[in-house]
Amino acid sequence: MVVCHINGTMGKHHFGVKSKNQKSTADLTHWAYYINRELSQLEFCARVLSTAQDGRLPLLERLRYLSITSGLLDEFFEIRVAGLKQQALHGAVQRQADNLSPEEQLEQIAVKVKSLVVELYATLNDDVLPQLEAQNIRLLRSSQWTDVQLNWLKRFFLREVAPIISPVGLDPAHPFPEPANKNLAFIVTLEGRDAFGRDSRHAVVQAPRSLPRVIQLPENCGGGRECFVLLASIVRYFVSDLFLGMKATGCHQFRVTRNSDLFVDEDAVGDLMLALEGELPSRRFSEAVRLEVAEDCPPEVADFLIGQFGLSEQDLYYCHGPVNLGRLEAIPELVQRPELRFEKFRPGIPERLSRSESIFETIKTGDVLLHHPYESFTPFLEMLQQAAVDPQVVSIRQTLYRTGPDSAVGAALVKAARLGKDVLVVIELRARFDEAANIELANALQAAGAQVVYGVVGHKTHAKMCSVIRREGRRLVHYVHLGTGNYHEGTSRAYTDYGLFTNDREFGQDVQKLFQQIAALGKAGKLKALLQSPFTLHSGILELIEAQRQKARRGKPAIIQAKMNALTEPILIQALYKASQAGVRVDLIVRGICCLRPGIPRVSDNIRVYSVVGRFLEHTRVFCFGSDENRLVFLSSADWMDRNFFRRVETCFPLRDEKIAQRVYHESISNYLSDNTQAWELLNDGSYRKTKTRGKTNSAQRALLAALSERG
């Protein structure tokens, strides 16, 4: 079981808290009341790794969780560690609420990640791979190759690898090459003289990205088993064939991770798209932040690589296996063994929608809620497709943050524009790691005649909203879709999210104002129903928290319950502490980062924080204030983070239909608070403890699958 312990336990320190019968005078800004953001994120990685260790899960899914953990660490270094290194380099003195300097954070991160990496590879080598082998699925090392397999791999190497791989012998005329970000490479030590009679000591071999990292052997080579070989094993075994006349005395895989956070001075560029297109290639070759090497890499070779990349021993990570575990995700995709995967299911479609020919006529009769992935994303696509050909539709407004390749959403909008509809699309070009796909879609939309804008300078447009305007008689009627997640068909099958269809007049007017604000950069004015960042969302949430605090002070029952991906904003955390001190019960379900420290005597002892890690990535944002008939329920595109409140365009909207509000509360709050199979509780020392099963078991995600999906 993985448990990462965050720095700084509370111990006996109460920092100004008086005795039990006295009024609390705790300084709620004190650093001891805050968990470090980066270390909290590593705790989430640890919970995902722990899921890979859960023997109750299907075996190929456990392998997939190992790949996911590797990918999470990759992004953590590309963005978070890279940012800390930049702060340290420039002597940043400003600290976050936890009061750790960049240097202190980097030191603690290295300790935590090195421990995680050891456990990651131990889980792979000592647990998952042996169990896969027992199921006749083998990842073969070169020492295990049979003669038949060796001959096949030799031919594969000569036919597929050797012609396109380019070894570089190092000398003054051949300086050390710059491997691309996260690309597989090898450092080779050599004996003998090269073709020009010189002694060669080192060479670098880079594996082109066009080559698969996992190769499946044909059936006649497997001896009745499904056998796989890593590209790294093939290159290492045959590497001497790349250096004729010399002998390779060592071949060690390595991988360098680079800063992947793009920087564009938006105030200084005339065209954001052109500026981003110019910056994208630099992501592959920017500053190094981490070096991974094979465990058998000699210290002198590792030191040589560290020097080449300008790193330190702190940035070096030894891997007891492939340096990119994320590539092992290919195996579950190649192996057709349903019994080793999660049970397939078909997303459900609410009866009102399945019986309706016109989604607009259905929305007229009342709001419709979809809970993905348990319910299908198809109705939203159908709304766009119907709008594209509906002669009554005069306008479509849409925000796009992530869409994915070959987006059906993008195709419907292109079709609508070509058919003469007035189409306005707000595309966030700066959606991290999706910049290239979003630029391509923006070009396609503009070519079709749609009006495309790229959001607001200095603020990413993260709101999820779509408005279809129909002329019905003498009126223009707004049909609105608001969501908690991206308009991305792929993530709608893997992330939990809500989407609400409504023709509520005030919602329609508010959304129209927001689109005008983003496109024309004018003031939206006072909204009637929605809260928005960066203007009213932060203050609005604080007011809702304060209202519950005042109820508690008057001796009335008061409760705050919320579900989100991350909680980091200090002022809001202080407001929750004050609510707790007043007697408000606070239940938080925070998937990933949580900087609030629960369970501090007379400060946060009324606050409980849980995290659920399951089959689907938890992504819904649900905020509830009050109880029973007085409960207010909101959905939002925003987490409770500084960036979402102050540096993004976000929406938060109330659920006005009482039945829908009750449904959301049941599905995403009470259901998750009663999860005793996949839930973790945050302790006040910053570590997480898996909740124990007492009585009847409940898995929130499995309960929703049973209730909402159509079993495949």
554 shares a domain with 455: no
Lowest model confidence (mean pLDDT) among 175-179, 295-299, 489-493? 175-179
| Residues 103/107/109/111 CA torsion (nearest 10 deg) | 180
Are 635 and 504 members of one domain? no
Indicate if 496 and 507 belong to the same structural domain.
Answer: yes
424 - beta bridge partners?
A: 397, 451
The answer to whether the CB of 246 falls within 8 A of the CB of 197 is: no
For 441-451, write each residue's pLDDT tens digit: 788 888 998 99
Secondary structure of 553-604 as H, E, C letters: HCCCCCEEEEEECCECCHHHHHHHHHHHHHCCEEEEEECCCECECCCCCCCC
Q: Which of 5-14, 104-113, 505-514 bottoms out in mean pLDDT, i.e. has the lowest?
A: 5-14
* Listed range (56-60, 192-196, 316-320, 504-508) with the worst mean pLDDT: 192-196
Mean pLDDT in residue range 644-648: 95
Residue spans of alpha helices (H) in 405-497: 408-418, 435-448
- For residue 654, pLDDT beyond 50: yes
**What pTM was computed for the model?**
0.91
Query: Is 379 a domain residue?
Result: yes
pLDDT at 479 over 90: yes
Cα–Cα distance, 675 to 691 (Å, whole number):
8
502 versus 356: the higher-pLDDT residue is 502
Out of 92-101, 159-168, 471-480, which region has the weakest mean confidence (pLDDT)?
Answer: 92-101
132, 158, 162, 139: which is closest to 52 by C-alpha? 132
Q: What's the pLDDT at 108?
A: 97
Catalytic residue list contains 666? no
What's residue 284's pLDDT?
Answer: 54
Between 96 and 238, the higher pLDDT residue: 238
Q: Are residues 206 and 330 in the same domain?
A: yes
| Better-predicted residue by pLDDT, 18 or 529 | 529
Stretch (H or E) spanning 361: helix 359-364
CB 373 within 8 A of CB 495: yes
pLDDT band (50, 70, 90) for residue 91: confident
List the structure tokens of 132.
């896969």
Tell whether 192 and 235 lie within a shared domain. Answer: yes
From 218-227, 506-515, 572-581, 630-639, the region with the lowest mean pLDDT: 218-227
Map residue 459 onto helix, strand or coil: strand
The model's confidence at residue 364, banded by pLDDT at 50, 70 and 90, is: very high
Of the chain, the percentage scoring pLDDT greater than 70 comes to 89
Is 411 within a domain? yes
Res 193: pLDDT = 64
The single-letter DSSP state of residue 170 is -
Question: Mean pLDDT in the chain?
Answer: 89
Do 617 and 496 form a contact (C-beta atoms < 8 A)? yes
pLDDT tops 90 at residue 60: yes
How many residues can be counted in the chain? 712
Q: Please state, in angstroms and as integers, the Cα–Cα distance from residue 678 to each residue in 221, 344, 542, 585, 612, following that order.
A: 40, 19, 30, 23, 6
**Domain span at residue 320?**
134-340
Give the pair of three-digit tokens for residue 668.
Answer: 């995403």
pLDDT at residue 221 above 80? yes
Beta bridge partners of 654: 634
Q: What is the CATH classification number for the domain harbouring 604?
A: 3.30.870.10
Contact status, residue 629 vs residue 70, Cβ threshold 8 Å: no
Q: Tell me: do 378 and 318 sit in the same domain.
A: no
Q: What confidence score (pLDDT) does residue 265 get?
A: 43
Interatomic CA distance for residues 82 and 76, integer angstroms: 8
Asked whether residue 678 is domain-assigned, the answer is yes
pLDDT band at 166 (very low <50, low <70, confident <90, very high): confident
Inter-residue contact 205 to 238 (CB < 8 Å): no
Task: Rounding to the nearest 10 degrees, give the CA dihedral for residues 534, 96, 560, 647.
Answer: 10
Whether 199 has a pLDDT exceeding 70, the answer reads no
Residue 244: the pLDDT is 79
CATH of residue 163's domain is 3.30.1840.10
Q: Which of 202, 459, 462, 538 is catalytic?
A: 462
- Give residue-wise pLDDT tens across range 546-601: 999 999 999 999 999 999 999 999 999 999 999 999 999 999 999 999 999 999 99
* Domain annotation covers residue 78: no
Closest CA to 465 of 418, 396, 415: 396
- Count: domains in the chain: 3
Say yes or no: 508 and 614 in one domain: no
CA distance 461 to 466: 13
Q: Is residue 284 part of a domain?
A: yes
Residues 569 and 612 in one domain: yes
11 domain-assigned: no
Q: Does position 283 have pLDDT exceeding 50, yes or no?
A: no
Q: pLDDT confidence of 172, banded at 50, 70, 90?
A: low
Alpha-carbon distance of 270 to 272, in angstroms, equals: 7
List Cα–Cα distances, 444 to 197, 411, 487, 531, in angstroms.
56, 9, 17, 32
SS3 480: strand
